[in-house]
Structure 1
Amino acid sequence: MAAKPAALPYRPCVGIVLINGSGEIFIGRRADTAPAAWQMPQGGIDSGEGPLVAGLRELAEETGVTACEVIDVTPDWLTYDFPPEAVRKGIKSRFRGQKQKWVLARFTGADTDIHLSGHDVEFDAWRWAGSDEVLRLIVDFKRPVYQAVLNQFAGFLSR
């Protein structure tokens, strides 16, 4: 018998708020969802990794971006639960949701340096967006975490 979601642990993850020189935020359209779901890069923290190392690795894997300067990291873990209607398979069968640290980084490359054809294709499209648009586009169950992250980094972001 499967464990009840509330009894399961949170998966340790990291998210990346990548901004351009205008304070716009990188968002990618997930390749594995329909209808379209947009989000910032994020992923699991591997054994032995810290959040910053994991964040830069995930950013490079998902977007090809290595040209960036780290500005800040959230001090606290932020959590969200997977929604009950989510199919309970893969990681969703072992975890109740995710706990995340978030890294704010400024992109120092050119848009042509962004490549979505990493080891596992996460996104099939990308663009720069203001924080208000990011909040409108994110799936509902992640919105409180995104709001907290964007509030923390607000001084660096365009609306």
Structure 2
Amino acid sequence: MNTLLPKAERLASLPPVVAVGSMLVTDDDGLELLVKANYGPCAWQLPGGMLDLGEYPPVCAERELAEETGLNCQTVGLLAVMWHIPKESSGGRAVVQFLFDGGQVPAGTPVHLQRSELSEARWVRPAEAMTLLDDKRGAWLESALRAKRGEPVQVLAR
């Protein structure tokens, strides 16, 4: 007796997951770029957004950075991953966020905000970033900074 579901039913039964690509960009003075969203409960964050269908995570991070800030940086490597378990607030969807290293830009590089999503951008020292970010994004950034120093890339669960 074959108990396997047809492929369409099996795929429909899988939990939905939303993927996000984000970018950590620093300048020559060691400042990190944070952006302030004009939506949702978490105002300050790293530039990024949801992957389009068929999009590769680092390509998404590069695209979102360019759309949100006008900066065109190539990903240097993966720094950290954050896994959010499905919750009612996410529509029952799990969320996986990839944080990539966007390298360095010259100090004073201007940022051109996507005003439909963002209200502000700041170049900040890591300590200030930790005061602006919520706890989960702060832990994600700390993990990314450790990876930049050569420690293994971590997957954080929230």
**TM-score, normalisation: structure 2:** 0.70
Structure 2: give runs of 5+ residues left out of the alignment: 1-13, 151-158
Contact 1:70 1:104 in 2 (8 A): yes
- CA RMSD in angstroms, aligned pairs only: 2.8
User: 2:23 maps to what in 1?
Assistant: 16
* Cα distance between partner residues in 2 of 1:23 and 1:82: 35
In structure 2, the CA distance between the partners of 1:48 and 1:117, relative to structure 1 (3 Å rule), is same
Matched, 1:79 2:83: yes
Instruction: Quote how far apart the aligned CAs of 1:143 are.
Output: 3.2
For residues 62 and 21 of structure 2, the distance between their equivalents in structure 1, rounded to whole angstroms, comes to: 9
Q: Is the CA contact (8 Å cut-off) linking 2:86 and 2:92 kept in structure 1?
A: no
In structure 1, stretches of 5+ residues that fail to align are 1-6
Identity of aligned residues (%): 25
Show the counterpart of 1:129.
124
| Residues 75-101 of structure 1: CA deviation (Å, up to 9, x unaligned) | x643134776xxx3xxx21413x2122
Structure 1 or 2, whichever has the larger Rg, is: 2
Q: In 1, distance between residues paired with 2:37 and 2:86?
A: 17
- Correspondences of 1:48-127 after superposition (within 5 Å): 48-66=54-72, 68-74=73-79, 77-81=81-85, 88=89, 92-96=90-94, 98-108=95-105, 111=108, 113-117=110-114, 121-127=116-122
Tell me if structure 2 keeps the 8 A contact 1:80–1:145: no
State how far apart, in whole Å, the 2-side matches of 1:106 and 1:12 are. 22
Give the secondary-structure state (helix, strand or coil) at the position aligned to 2:113.
Answer: coil
Q: Deviations over 1:8-34 (max 9, x none)?
A: 544211110011112211001221257
Amino acid at match of 1:125: E
Q: Which has the higher contact order (CA 8 A, sep 6+)?
A: 1
Alignment of 1:46 with 2:52, yes or no, is yes
Name the TM-score, length of structure 1 as normaliser: 0.70
Would you say the 8 A contact 2:87–2:93 is kept in 1? no
Q: How many residues align?
A: 137
